[in-house]
């Protein structure tokens, strides 16, 4: 669904939301799969899924300290389409396309739009990976790598398989949650039938994002031997309570997904209204620690441009 009017009508929301939604959608459009909309509650303008996708007036406010490239990605690219910030792993921007447009996204201002990495870009990426055998893990990211076709993904796996020092492929994707029908049998065959260890980091922010279709897609991935992890962004008004975060961890584990990171918001222009400050985040995670087993506690981190890893926020 790309039309704010349609979303607002379908969910029986106040018509007054439309004008702001339309103006905020101008620079970063609404995009949300219908199956995800079906998990929202009608008549609730504060629904935690709706708030992740509905453009709003707060995005148009210019906030000091918020930028267009908050994590320094544009200066960490040794070759077009590849980010190498951390030892042993390199991240490939396979495409700019996503199945959902998250209003808090730190890439919302990125220049790569919906473009896929071109063949010549891939050549540069492969040359770089081949030249550095300290890299054992390739992270496919974007955008969302699972918006690529199976054929395209298969070619990527085949070419990466020619580099003997690579051991793991990790995919960062929201599709198992926002568009579970993407986890087709042929995609599962691809994951099950290659020499790499597979890791998938799904990006779920709230327990309400899970339904039977999501459960089914995660069960297929788990069955194919994919290690499932989750990364969450701490979002004001969406999951900034111990109940919401504990509920998310419990739900993840029911689907055999382990919580990995809980990220403080990257300070992207247009996203300031989602920010939860560090003191509050620490207090929340302290509450979580008191009520969950250690393996269900995500690591609270913050990304800082130039740092050698995601910085732990101690609590
Ligand atoms: C976040 C990120 C990673 C992954 O970091 P992990 O701590 O391994 O999850 C790798 N490369 C880049 C460029 C990143 O931004
Ligand atoms: S799926 Fe990820 S990259 Fe795409 S808009 Fe959402 S947060 Fe951004």
pLDDT (0 to 100) of residue 112: 55
- Express each pLDDT in 222-240 by its tens digit: 999 999 999 999 999 999 9
SS3 108: coil
- Indicate which atom in ligand 2 lies nearest the CA of residue 98: 4
Q: Which two tokens stand for residue 131?
A: 């030249």
The residue among 48, 312, 100 whose CA lies nearest residue 205 is: 48
Name the residue among 25, 5, 71 with its Cα closest to residue 307.
71
Tell the burial category of 150 from Cβ atoms under 10 Å away from its Cβ (0-12, 13-18, 19+): middle
Banded pLDDT at 111 (limits 50, 70, 90): low
Q: State residue 315's pLDDT score.
A: 64
- The conformation of residue 74, written as its DSSP 8-state character, comes to G
Task: Determine whether the shortest distance from the Cβ of 267 to ligand 1 is under 6 A.
Answer: no
The arrangement of strands across the sheet holding 89-93 comes to: 82-86, 89-93, 137-141, 168-173, 197-202, 227-233, 258-263, 299-302, 311-312
Residue from 54, 101, 140 to probe ligand 2 pocket by mutation (most atoms less than 8 Å from CB): 101
Q: Of 69, 104, 105, which is best to mutate to test ligand 2, by the most ligand atoms within 8 angstroms of its C-beta?
A: 105
Regarding the beta carbon of 83 and ligand 1, being less than 6 Å apart is answered yes
Write down the mean pLDDT value for the chain. 95
Using alpha carbons, select from 292, 288, 240 the residue that is nearest to residue 263: 240
What is the rounded distance in angstroms from the CA atom of residue 91 to the CA atom of residue 46?
A: 34
Q: Which pLDDT value is given to residue 82? A: 95
Q: What is the mean pLDDT of residues 88-106?
A: 95
pLDDT value of position 106: 84
Sign, CA torsion 301/302/305/307: negative
For residues 288 and 292, give the distance between their C-alpha atoms in angstroms, rounded to a whole number: 6
Contact by Cβ (8 Å): 168, 196: yes
**pLDDT in the model for residue 109:** 77
The CB of 302 under 6 Å from ligand 2? The reply is: no
* Per-residue model confidence (pLDDT) at position 242: 98
pLDDT at 113: 62
Q: How confident is the model at residue 250 (pLDDT cuts 50, 70, 90)?
A: very high
**How many residues are recorded in the chain?**
315
85 lines ligand 1 (CB under 6 A): yes
The tokens for 67 are 């930028």
Alpha carbon nearest to ligand 1 atom 1, residue = 310
- Comparing CA positions, the residue from 74, 154, 91, 173 lying closest to residue 128 is 91
What are the structure tokens assigned to 70, written together? 């908050």
Q: Is 98 in the pocket of ligand 2 (CB under 6 A)?
A: yes
- For the stretch 19-29, pLDDT in tens is 999 999 998 99
**Closest ligand 2 atom to 174 CA:** 1
Measured distance CA(274)–CA(59) in Å, rounded: 10
């Amino acid at each position: 669904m790309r039309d704010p009017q349609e979303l607002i009508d379908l969910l029986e929301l106040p018509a007054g939301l439309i004008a702001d939604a339309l103006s905020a959608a101008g620079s970063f459009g609404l995009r949300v799969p219908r199956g995800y909309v079906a998990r929202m509650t009608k008549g609730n303008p504060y629904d935690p899924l709706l708030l992740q996708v509905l453009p709003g007036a707060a995005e148009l406010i210019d906030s000091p300290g918020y930028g267009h490239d908050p994590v320094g990605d544009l200066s960490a690219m040794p070759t077009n389409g590849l980010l190498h910030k951390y030892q042993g792993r390199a991240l490939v921007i396979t495409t700019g396309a996503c199945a959902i447009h998250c209003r808090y996204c730190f890439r919302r201002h990125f220049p790569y739009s919906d473009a896929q990495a071109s063949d010549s870009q891939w050549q540069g990426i492969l040359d770089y990976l081949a030249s550095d055998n300290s890299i054992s893990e390739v992270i496919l990211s974007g955008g969302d790598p699972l918006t690529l076709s199976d054929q395209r993904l298969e070619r990527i796996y085949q070419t990466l398989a020619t580099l003997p020092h690579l051991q793991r492929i990790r995919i960062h994707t929201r599709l198992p949650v926002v568009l579970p029908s993407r986890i087709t049998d042929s995609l599962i065959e691809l994951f099950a039938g290659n020499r790499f260890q597979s890791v998938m980091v799904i990006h779920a922010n709230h327990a309400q994002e899970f339904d039977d279709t999501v459960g089914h897609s995660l069960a297929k991935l788990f069955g194919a031997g994919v290690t499932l992890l989750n990364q969450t962004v701490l979002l004001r008004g969406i999951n900034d309570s111990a109940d919401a975060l504990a509920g998310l961890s419990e739900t993840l584990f029911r689907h055999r997904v382990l919580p990995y990171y809980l990220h403080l918001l990257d300070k992207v222009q247009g996203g300031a209204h989602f920010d939860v400050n560090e003191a509050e985040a620490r207090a929340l995670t302290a509450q979580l620690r008191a009520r969950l087993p250690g393996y269900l506690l995500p690591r609270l981190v913050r990304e800082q441009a130039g740092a050698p890893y995601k910085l732990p926020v101690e609590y």
